Every structure is written in structure tokens, then in C-alpha cells.
Chains A and B, each alone.
Chain A
Amino acid sequence: MKNVLLCIFLSISIHSLAQNRAVTEFRETHEAALSLYFYPSTLRMINLERNMEFDEMIRDIKKARFFKMDSGAVHNEDILKLDNRLREEGFEEVMFMKSKDMDLKVWGVGKRNPVLIIISKSDADVMLLEVNGMINIAKIPKLTESFNQNSFLDVLNLYEKKN
């Protein structure tokens, strides 16, 4: 399920190559245990079996940034401040999920060249994903089948194993 969610978010759309200021400031004031930067070429690298559906789905993603932080280092007020900063920058809350294990919010701005920012908080960590570009959701059914065959490099699990 996490893979599918990550896949959905990575597969949503882009335009501006500029990094979002609110996210950058948040990153500067909170030490990240894991930072990943994806460009079209590096996104394709996790597609170990050269799955055409995945390549099609990420075709319009120009850039993505992912940060994972220890939850103890990020307070709820910090996330509220980030929410407010994003709102000031014209972002709208387009989705939220609230569960026992995790709270997740998705902020979006733009239509033809959207920027999406996903913030998730669990007891263990806070994850921040900024996607500049569009994911083709119509490819998700076929892609989900591929994920079940483990034909992708799971960069998050590589981090888990290292620790």
C-alpha cells in the first residue's frame, strides 16, 4: 500500500524546476535522516526491469525531493507552520488522510504544471515529498501489478536495511 501511495505521488505532474521555499526552509531547520532527489533520469533508475508503464507514468515529472526526518525532531507546531507557509504561497490542501499510524496531507498548486507537496507524520518519522510535475494516474492499475512482482528498487527499504 505504501508503495502504491508513493508511486501515485511520484506519478503526479510538473513544470517549475524551482524548489519550493517553504519546503527548503523546513529542510534547513530540521535535520533529515534521509534526503533523496529525483530527476527524470534517476526516477527511471529505480525501474529495474524497464517497465514501460512506469516510464510513461513518470514522463511528466521533472523533479522530486524526498526528506525523511525523525519524528522527535519535528513538532506538530512545525508542521502547522509549514501548512500556513504553503497556504500563503497559494497551495491548497487537496487530500488528507488521518489514521492511527499516520497523518498525511497533500498540498497542490497549479494545473498545467502542478507542484504537489506531501507531508506525512507517524510515530517514527516525518516524511516530506515535493513533486514538480504530473503523474499519469491512468497507468496505476498496470503499474500496481508490476509493483507486486517486485521489479522496482525500493530506495526506502535500502535505507531501513542500512540502519
Chain B
Amino acid sequence: MKNLIIILITVCICFTASAQNDVVTKLFNDYYDDENFTKISVSSKMFELFTEIEPGDEDEQEILEAVSKLKGLKVIAADSIGNSGQLYTNAVKKISGNGYEELMEVKDAKEDMKFMIKEKDGIIDELVMVVGGNKSFFILSLYGEIDLKKISKLSKSMNVKGMEYLKQLDDSDGKEKNKEKDKDKSK
């Protein structure tokens, strides 16, 4: 009986651990052997390597802090496929139905872009970005402890197209704070 309980607990822990990031991992595996897609995977060990670096200034410190809290990164990308719009719709449908909250959506004439997050105890532990349209398709999943305000700076060092849209989060946050200050003043 004791052994059975231990096995059940172990199975539950394994299930919880694998539930995180499983949608993106499944998509990653689906496209793994398809030559039209570029796949990139970075493990936590890679990010650990950067924790020993001495920052030169505040900007560098923020980049290094953001990187050191990451546990992994996965990218699926294609830049010349015909059904990119359909792939985008399917990917968004699969991801949003698995406990991810929509953070932001950007639509323009060429591409659609959606940011989704998974949150636990007030901490964002996964950020997923999906881009589709104009013959391109792109999914990025960052997991670990994620500070959105530092991600835009991190995106510069990663040189990932599209993540510059996250800067809008900082801007909208700033505007909200200014509105609150104005309200306080008028009182």
C-alpha cells in the first residue's frame, strides 16, 4: 500500500512537471522532422552558464537577471510556407485551450501575432509568442520565471523578431500609472 502511494505521488509529480510546456513540446515534436521548419531548443544549463557573468551597468544587470531565471526556450520557425495563416490559427487554438491566458494580440495587414502566458502563484512561468501570415510561421516558448518588463531588454540580446512588441506592455503600464497619479492629484 505504501509503495502504491509512493508510485501514485511520483506519477502525479511527473504529470504536473510534464503538463508545463507540453502543448508547445507537442507542436515541436510534430514539426521535428519537417524540413520546412527550423527548430531551436535551449536548456536550462545554457542559461545557468550566464549567471557567473559580472554586469557592467544596470541594463546588463537586468538582461543577466532575466536570463538567469529562465529554464528553457523553444522555437519553431518557417519563413516560406503557403498555409501559415492556417498554422497560426491551429496553433493558437491548441495553446489557448490548455490553460494559457492571452496577454496581447497584434494584427496588421501582413501578420498576426499573439502572446500568451501561463501563470502560477502570481509568477509567469511560461510566455508563448505565436506569429503567422505572409508565408511565415513562428512559435517561441520561454519558460522559467519570467519578468515581462525585463523581457523586452532580453529580446534585444536574443535578436528575436517580434518580441519588440512586448515593449508596449511597459508603455501601457506607464500610462496606467500616470492616469492614477492624475486622479490622485485631482482629488
Q: Could you list which residues of chain A lie within 8 angstroms of chain B, going by C-beta atoms?
A: 4, 12-13, 56, 60, 92-100, 106, 108, 111-112, 114, 116, 134, 136-141, 144
B46 engages A97 (CB within 8 Å): no
Question: Which chain B residues border A106 with CB–CB below 8 Å?
Answer: 46
Given A96-B41, A138-B157, A56 and B56 contact (CB-CB distance below 8 Å) = yes
A-B contact pairs, 21 of them (CB 8 A): A12-B49, A13-B53, A92-B43, A94-B49, A95-B41, A95-B42, A95-B46, A96-B40, A98-B39, A99-B37, A100-B36, A108-B46, A112-B52, A137-B63, A137-B64, A138-B55, A138-B60, A138-B63, A138-B157, A140-B159, A141-B156
Are the C-beta atoms of B52 and A111 separated by less than 8 Å? yes
A144 neighbours in B (Cβ, 8 Å): 159
Shortest Cβ distance from A97 into chain B, in angstroms? 5
Question: What residues of chain A lie closer than 8 Å to B52, measured between beta carbons?
Answer: 13, 111-112, 134
Give the contact-size bracket for chain B: 20 to 34
A114 touches B49 (CB 8 A): yes
Further pairs besides A137-B63, A144-B159: 18, Cβ < 8 Å: A13-B52, A13-B53, A92-B43, A94-B42, A94-B43, A95-B41, A95-B46, A99-B38, A108-B45, A111-B49, A111-B52, A134-B49, A136-B53, A136-B60, A138-B63, A138-B157, A140-B156, A141-B156
- The answer to whether A137 touches B53 (Cβ under 8 A) is yes
Which of A4, A99, A108 has most B Cβ within 10 Å? A99
Give A116 to B46 CA distance when docked, in angstroms. Answer: 10
- Least CB distance from B162 to A in Å reads 15
Residues of B with C-beta under 8 A to A108: 45-46, 49
A141 → chain B closest CB, angstroms: 4
Contact indicator per residue, chain B 46-84, by CB within 8 Å of chain A (1) or not (0) = 101111110110011101100100000000000000000
Give Cα distance in the complex from A114 to B53, angstroms: 12
Q: Which residue of A lies closest to B36 (CB)?
A: A100
- In whole angstroms, how far apart are the Cα atoms of A99 and B80 in the complex? 13
CB of B35 within 8 A of chain A?
yes
Least Cβ distance of A13 to chain B in Å? 6
Report Cα–Cα, A55/B66, bound state, in Å: 23
Report yes or no: B40 in contact with A141, Cβ–Cβ below 8 A: no
The interface bits of chain B over 23-46 (1 if a CB of A lies within 8 angstroms of the residue's CB, else 0) are: 000000000100111111111011
Decide if A134 touches B157 in the complex (CB within 8 Å).
no
Q: Which residues of A contact B64 (CB under 8 A)?
A: 137-138
Chain A nearest CB, measured from B99 CB (Å): 27
Q: Which residue of A lies closest to B51 (CB)?
A: A111
Q: Are A97 and B39 in contact (CB under 8 A)?
A: yes
Chain A residues lying within 8 Å of B156, measured Cβ to Cβ, are 140-141
- CA distance in complex: A95, B41 (Å): 5
Q: Specify which chain A residues have a CB less than 8 angstroms from the CB of B42 in the assembled complex.
A: 94-95
Smallest Cβ-Cβ distance to A95: which chain B residue = B42
Choose from A93, A99, A111, A138 the contact partner of B39 (Cβ within 8 Å).
A99
Instruction: State whether B40 touches A95 (Cβ < 8 A).
Output: yes
* B59 / chain A contacts, CB cutoff of 8 Å: 138
Residues from chain A with Cβ under 8 Å of B56 in the complex: 56, 136, 138-139
Contact of B43 among A93, A111, A116 (CB under 8 A): A93
The interface residues of chain A lying within 8 Å CB-to-CB of B43 are: 92-95
Chain B residues with CB below 8 A from A137, complex form = 50, 53, 63-64, 67, 157
